[in-house]
Amino acid sequence: MKNYKRLLLYIKPYLKRLGLAIICIIMAAAANLYLPWIIKDMIDKVLMDKDMMMLNLISVGIVVVFLVRGIFYYGQSYLVSYIGEKVIIDVREDMFCKFQRMPMAYFDKHQTGETMSYITNDVAAIQSALVTNLIEMVTEGSILIGSIVMMVTLDWKLSLLTLVVIPLVGQAMKIFGKKLKRNGTLIQERAADITSLLQESITSLRVVKAFGRESYEIGRFNRQHTLKFQAAMQNVRLTSLLTPTVEFLAALSVTFIVWFGGYEVVNGVMTAGALVAFLTYAVNLANPVKRLARVYGSLQRAMAAVDRVFYVLDLEESIHDREGAEVLPNTEGHVVFNDVSFEYKKGVPALEHVSLEAKPGQMIAFVGPSGAGKSTIANLIPRFYDVTDGQILIDGRDIRDVTIASLREQIGIVPQETMLFSTTVRENIRYGRLDATDEEVEAAAKAANAEEFIRQLPEGYDTQIGERGLNLSGGQRQRMAIARAILKNPRILILDEATSALDTESEKIVQAALDTLMQGRTSFVIAHRLSTIFDADEIFVIDHGHVVEQGTHEELLAKGGLYQYLYSIQFKNAEAAREEQA
């Protein structure tokens, strides 16, 4: 129950409301407990003694009891639901903040759908543990305790016979509870698998349709649903076994009451009204036990979700600010890699002993075969990952000694695949600097050669661009990414194959925008098309995680090494294509 106690800490800001809710729950339960006593007085005083005054009092009492019960029932439902909703918002916000702080390495190993499932399915399961289960636990617990007190008041010997069954019920709940929790974990995992598959299929819908794999995807989805159905039915089987088990034990208790209570009435030890009231309380005792058993089963399933949530919240944030980290002042853009090595997976080096220097305002290019380590170098500069060995310095400071926020504030990135948000053109560009004015946004768009196509959109800068900007062409999306980077005005710029996915015409427009963006900035360019880096101040040729060559375009061609080989392949292919068109 350690994690459940941690979950209850989220209620701390709402303790006053919780206290009022518990009062409402107890008062509503007390109203239920008064009804059997009314039945006792009805039999013993009204029917047996012909007391009309008592009949009048009982009639008024019934109306008052149900009125009061209704008021308190409304109070308990509203207050507990309010607390539950607020707590779920707080938990979900903590989960979202946690994922925002997690390093890129975490997302490399986990599917997007799995991450979404934590915030949606698991947190939703917690809500039932806090709202529905909490109300039922306090309500049924109050009725249980109140019924025991009233039963002892009526006949303590009969009460002892009844309470013998409670340890047996507790043992049954313990046995079933362990199984229900294990099954609850399986249900949450199956729900996460469905969410992951759904996210993957929808985001890859173009590929699915291109290969005509709709039936295949439907089959995958149905198989996952079948596995979830099987887990859910196992939960139903366990719950369905627990309830009749508890009911049978309760029936044994009622049997004892009927026999022994009847014996006492026959012998004049107990009145008929007291026995009927006692039986009613006994039924009141059996119902809460039965309902608490059901709640316990639901709670065990919810606890599986609670465990998953706190597992995520307790994950180590490997990329974080060191103690005493300072704010990086406005940098000149002097970047040095000092014998840097890096491993994505322990024992499998992605980079080994890389040393390089980029002076302020220089354009540094990285070329090499796919998987050579070019993007890895770029990802280390903004600390998306931390180096395994060595150090990266900016203006003489180790980037691990400055705050992550101040480091990334001075780095602009234009990736190969531009990620845009499903909002307006203006807000997408403003993402580069949230306090930018409309005039500054439009100036950045103009500098990125994006002004012309934006003005042609239905609502110009206020046009909604759709999910991931798919309503725009690749070149248009890329120019918006460049505008975003221009607005940010970073001293260090990373261009990760920013034009490789574009056609020749779009590439020329985007390259012109990139040339504007790189002016006066230290730029790191990962190049797919070598024609874009002929003017680089220094080109580093990367192969299998090593710098195998470095120099200017002319120097590298003269060496006749890997760069010259890549150059000859690319331009021979280009010449062959032109000859074929001719």
From residue 351, how far is each of 165, 392, 480 by CA, in Å? Answer: 68, 13, 32
Q: 365 forms bridges with which residues in the sheet?
A: 525, 539
Report yes or no on 171 lying in a domain: yes
Report yes or no on 318 lying in a domain: no
207-226: pLDDT as tens digits:
676 667 778 788 888 888 78
Report yes or no on 576 lying in a domain: yes
Mark whether 48 and 197 lie in a shared domain. yes
pLDDT at 212: 72
Domain span holding position 428: 418-489
Mark whether 473 and 534 lie in a shared domain. no
Report yes or no on 319 lying in a domain: no
From residue 229, how far is each of 177, 186, 195, 215, 223 by CA, in Å? Answer: 20, 11, 15, 20, 10
491-506: pLDDT as tens digits:
898 988 766 656 666 6
Maximum distance among all alpha carbons in the chain? Answer: 120
Mark whether 228 and 256 lie in a shared domain. yes
Mark whether 206 and 352 lie in a shared domain. no
Q: What are phi and psi of 31, to 5 degrees?
A: -60, -40
pTM of the model: 0.71
Q: Identify which has the larger pLDDT, 278 or 400.
A: 400
> Which of 210-214, 240-244, 525-529 tops mean pLDDT?
525-529
**Number of domains the chain is built from:** 3
Give the Cα separation of 510 and 494 in Å (integer): 15
Mark whether 550 and 422 lie in a shared domain. no
Mark whether 357 and 468 lie in a shared domain. no
382-430: pLDDT as tens digits:
999 999 999 999 999 999 999 998 998 999 888 877 778 878 889 988 9
